[in-house]
Structure 1
Amino acid sequence: MLLHVLHETVYDYAPAVRTAQHMAHLRPADHATQRLLAHRLTVEPEPAQQVEAQDVYGNTRAFFSLDAAHDRLRVVAESTVSTSAPAVPASRVPWEEVRERMRYQRGARYDPAAEFSFSSPYVPRDEAFVSYAQPVFTPGRPLQEAAVALMARIHADFTYETTATDVNTPALEALALRKGVCQDLAHVMLGCLRSLGLPARYVSGYLLTEPPPGQPRLVGSDASHAWVSVYLPADKAGQGQWLDLDPTNDRPAGEDYVTLAVGRDFSDVSPMRGVIHGGASHTLRVAVTVTPMESPSPSPAP
């Protein structure tokens, strides 16, 4: 599937910001089932410095700074990606066995995925998560099967409500509320998996949404999305796989998903964050449009 993504972020400040430094995770990933064909990041006003680099998780992030006063900041990321449906793994490894593999044991083979089984700023390990997950994580159940069941349980139990939480809501609070947005549902699922000793990552990106029949696609009507990637070790010696599951929509991620970045939780991969000098108050507007395309882009992304 060929997809065009337009992500616009606008800040209006009062009074004007005097200087600013920002970090953005807005460049889609390039991996086996997603090829980045074109990408452009436009910042207005023009920054004094703008560079790209990889973070510790392999995501490409952009840093830019502004050293002149400005009462508006506009950041537009435009990308074209080619996606394909990921191969669905068929792992039968019991979840308890995976938990034991992730524990540190002297002389045992180290699996880098183990670092995603610990607490993170928004997602602690807590008995409340264990209690919520236990009905589907029954003894001897394969991790893949249990994770899919956990995804379905969160989808059924939680109400999608945009005003119930904000970007700083901790996962335990979202669990108690049984409400939230995609970020919250992903954080709750991460909390459940990690509290059981299982590695799981937070994934930020986009989802192609179709307008109602007969209605045109509205520019800017979509939004950023978030889901979970759970690690499935190989049955025998070999390379494990990550399985992307979306508790907001109760489905595995497919070719209609675009991955931006992966991390421990939202704090690692927020689309934009920064430090400003001035601008005591501000308003924020974010508009995302994901559009299917009919012909491929002729050249890879710079």
Structure 2
Amino acid sequence: MPPTWHPRRSRVPGEAEMPRYKIVHRTTYQYETPVASSHHTAVMRPRDMPSQECVDFRLLVRPRPPIQSQRVSQRVDTFGNQVNQFSLQEPHTRLEVLALSSVVVRPRSLPPRSIIPAWEQVAAMARQPVGAEALNAAQFAYPSPQVTIWPELGRFARVSAPPGRCYLDVLDDLNRRIHAHVTFSPGETTVGTPVEQVFVRRRGVCQDLSHLMLACLRVLGLPGRYMSGYIRTRPPEGQPRLTGVDASHAWVAAYCPGSDWIELDPTNNLFPESDHITIGFGRDYSDVSPLSGLLVGGGEHTASVGVDVHPEADHA
């Protein structure tokens, strides 16, 4: 399979460059018995960063918290992601959380190969970081709660990283091989499935492929972030776009000194351009879980999630 990276062509003056998306992300929980009280944390607001700007965001909760002090509050976590929190103190058997966002995306591009070092130089920087940027990146070069490393993984990763190889080529090769190694198979794993199990069973979803990509980077000593967000699914040529075909998604960003971060999507074997919208990033899924909570009561529950990413307009 040929490499998936390529130089980006120059854009024609006046060509649409900055698509604007409206995002509707609905999560519904139905509880077997009434929940007496609950406290929830949501990481659902797309963050502002060089590749995008969130121009509007609303988080709606049903049932609505009846007391002002229990309504949606916000803070910024250690990675700079916006975190919203709310509590419900009245009995309820259903919870609906609706996140409405409007985001302008600036298409990403790969840095020139001429400025990209060999992969060993990036690993050396992570081992002995100098400066605030390198120190920040280095924290993503080590195992985390859901991204572990083991001997067999090291052997797998080093196939893509012979001595002196260009860092971009290492990233592209790992992206391609992980895409081939793990079959996308919804329902085969849960949010808690160990990454080593995914590697052995070779089946999983975007979260699993991203965790495996991060494990490969980190076993080589390379910094990698877990990216949580959305992906717009384009319809086949000539076919209408269907509501609900979009999804929450996960991919990876690898640090490149002098060029910030290079994003990779092992689930789709590509480098993101303008169809990926970032909510936030962390060491792994546990840092940016879209919605989590503590409940008193409720028994068994069912959950449904729906995402629609609708292009509003193009902004040059």
The normalised TM-score by structure 1 is: 0.92
Q: Structure 1 residue 275: deviation in Å?
A: 0.4
Query: Structure 2: which 5+ runs fail to align?
Result: 1-18
Task: Report the residue type matching 1:81 in the other structure.
Answer: V
Q: Structure 1 residue 213: deviation in Å?
A: 4.2
Between 1:137-146 and 1:96-105, the stretch displaced more is 96-105
Given candidates 200, 212, 226, the residue that maps to 2:250 is 226
Task: Report the residue type matching 2:23 in the other structure.
Answer: V
Name the structure 2 match of 1:249.
Answer: 268
Using the alignment, how far apart are the partners of 1:220 and 1:73 within structure 2?
20
Task: Report the residue type matching 2:63 in the other structure.
Answer: P
Using the alignment, how far apart are the partners of 1:85 and 1:213 within structure 2?
21
Is 1:59 paired with 2:81?
yes
Given candidates 46, 49, 62, the residue that maps to 1:31 is 49
Task: Note if contact 1:118-1:125 (Cα within 8 Å) is conserved in structure 2.
Answer: no
Using the alignment, how far apart are the partners of 1:295 and 1:203 within structure 2?
24
Using the alignment, how far apart are the partners of 1:295 and 1:66 within structure 2?
39
Name the structure 2 match of 1:201.
Answer: 225
> What's the CA shift string for 1:100-140, capped at 9, x where partnerless?
221148xx556320000111111012222211111111111
Q: Structure 1 residue 92: deviation in Å?
A: 2.6
Between 1:158-167 and 1:273-282, the stretch displaced more is 158-167
Percent identity among equivalent residues? 41
> What's the CA shift string for 1:158-197, capped at 9, x where partnerless?
2110122111111111111111110000000000000111
Using the alignment, how far apart are the partners of 2:187 and 2:109 within structure 1?
36
Q: Secondary structure at the match of 1:17?
A: strand
Is 1:258 paired with 2:277?
yes
Q: Secondary structure at the match of 1:146?
A: helix
Name the structure 2 match of 1:94.
Answer: 118
| Structure 1 runs (4+) greater than 4 angstroms displaced | none
Using the alignment, how far apart are the partners of 2:62 and 2:221 within structure 1?
44
Query: Structure 1: which 5+ runs fail to align?
Result: 235-239, 297-302
Between 1:15-24 and 1:128-137, the stretch displaced more is 128-137
Between 1:214-223 and 1:65-74, the stretch displaced more is 214-223
Name the structure 2 match of 1:16.
Answer: 34
CA RMSD of aligned residues (A): 1.5
Q: Structure 1 residue 27: deviation in Å?
A: 0.2
Task: Report the residue type matching 1:243 in the other structure.
Answer: I
Task: Note if contact 2:158-2:220 (Cα within 8 Å) is conserved in structure 1.
Answer: no
Q: Secondary structure at the match of 1:293?
A: strand
Given candidates 83, 108, 116, the residue that maps to 2:105 is 83
Using the alignment, how far apart are the partners of 2:236 and 2:109 within structure 1?
29
Q: Structure 1 residue 26: deviation in Å?
A: 0.5
The normalised TM-score by structure 2 is: 0.88
Task: Note if contact 1:126-1:191 (Cα within 8 Å) is conserved in structure 2.
Answer: no
